[in-house]
Structure 1
């Protein structure tokens, strides 16, 4: 198989890249080369900015592919560019959408590909919906061989997956845990969430590549493991070797007192209970099973982050915000008890 990834070095795509190379795929990555030092041997790098359409067209002039996958498209205009570049050069075009595009609030916590797409809280999700609409129109009217993939919360060894964190990443929350400080969990922590290790996601994704039955289809790829947010934070604390000190706060309250996009990221996504029905994926990719349990995967992540100081980006602004929020909640409790 000859494949081209636009991107190929992110949380989701890096695991797919590694597994494809191990399987002997002729894999090309089209990106700016800023992470090329981490690429496995055997990957062919086409170094360019995908937004420079003329340059990319010239670089791929003599190539055709079995699969082209765009991991970094977020708005329809980027897919219009992709269509111009690849409409006659690939047998399958895979677009990475998002499970956050599913209807919010959910009418049924059990999600499958037939769940309506509607998210009034998050522009990111609405843009992904618009991208899906554009591609499916091309499939119906032009025969463009599209497959849409919807990941949910997928994580790797480089970043700790969390619900509430600052704009500089999630390390500051882990640092608070290590220092014995309280950390904020949105809601009461009992809503269900799904975490998927990127190595498991990669197995499902590769099974869709070159798969005739996946053309014209939308497919979600997630683990079947459901966890409460309390369980997620407890697992992270255990991996760090510390006791969890949790403070719960309503998602609407966190959104109201923050400059972060908690309206989209929480109210439009993580504050909702989600349980995924992966029956469609398992029909298309017989034998697919997500095998990395969260407590095992997060231990690998914590060990890796602790061993790599460059991943430990501190966020004093978020840290101070957490202290203010927790102080305000404690003051409110004290005032009511008077």
Structure 2
């Protein structure tokens, strides 16, 4: 049994993670701003993780074996966490993202076309950190989401006082109405209604993970002892045409793609650049992944069932 702190964990796969940790017999403390109570059995501490004094006060004398940070988006937030938890935990796990590999957001090493991107393509130990940018501005953060994650990883990698691991998640699907990004329902709604969606002329595949599988992997990461980044994606990349075909098979609709010119914005998961991840490191460390095509039909069915009656 471990004493585990989850920062965030109040919705979607974070809530599933808390439930899995409790079911495994761990002692769990959830820290959030009080917007939602954690699952029964978890201790609840209310604090804004951006407020260092308030977070320190809320923690009191608490110490942990592991901290799992679900909501770290900037180097400023990471620096606060590094100071507050330096003497309070042995291990720190941050939920990161596939977007750290997006070549449109940073100058990254080029790989041969179609090569799954390994963790070393973005090395947090050497990534530059700039904390005096307007990270507290929501517009800046939204526009620099990938860079915020890269720099947050860099800060925590270099922190003293605990071992650090980053879980770089693929695009998360599943959960029906719980899927707060709405990107799968974007396709189920349009294809069921026969509406068009925008795609690039030269499509490249990307990788996905089911929300329950990501919760399983985060629990595994909390219980493990590896350090550094690890990619989290199901086996089997898909491009947006393949995703649309899976939606059409469940909805009975017909995909209506509209090709956009180079440089124009396209619909979710339509990519004209390659950054689909490799999951080889996680497998070598002992985690077994499902195949995307095994769980995607059920995820599509959930999204269709959650749609308003007027769009079915």
Give the TM-score range, shorter chain.
0.7 to 0.9
TM-score (norm 1): 0.73
Mapping of residues 135-154 of structure 1, within 5 Å: 135-138=156-159, 142-154=160-172
Mapping of residues 191-270 of structure 1, within 5 Å: 191-212=204-225, 214-215=226-227, 217-250=228-261, 252-254=263-265, 270=271
Contact 1:64-1:90 within 8 A present in 2 as well: yes
Q: Shift in Å at residue 303 of structure 1?
A: 4.4
Q: Shift in Å at residue 155 of structure 1?
A: 2.0
Please give the per-residue CA displacement for 1:153-185, whole angstroms capped at 9, x wherever unaligned: 1123145989xxxx986645543333222222x
Partners of 2:66 and 2:280 in 1: CA distance: 24
Partners of 2:5 and 2:262 in 1: CA distance: 40
**1:202 aligns to what SS in structure 2?**
helix
Mapping of residues 41-190 of structure 1, within 5 Å: 41-102=40-101, 104=103, 106-108=110-112, 109=114, 110-116=116-122, 123-138=144-159, 142-158=160-176, 171=185, 173-184=187-198, 186-188=199-201, 190=203
Change (3 A) 1:208 1:175: closer
Gaps of 5+ in 1: 256-261, 314-338
Q: Shift in Å at residue 46 of structure 1?
A: 1.5
The aligned length equals 285
Q: Shift in Å at residue 271 of structure 1?
A: 3.2
Please give the per-residue CA displacement for 1:202-254, whole angstroms capped at 9, x wherever unaligned: 22222221322x13x11111111211210111212332332222222245122
Gaps of 5+ in 2: 105-109, 128-142
Contact 2:244-2:255 within 8 A present in 1 as well: yes
TM-score (norm 2): 0.79
Please give the per-residue CA displacement for 1:80-121, whole angstroms capped at 9, x wherever unaligned: 111121110111011222221125165233111122469xxx
Q: Shift in Å at residue 7 of structure 1?
A: 0.6
User: Equivalent residue for 1:29?
Assistant: 30
**Larger proportion of helix:** 1
C-alpha RMSD of matched pairs (Å): 3.2
Larger of the two Rg values belongs to structure = 1
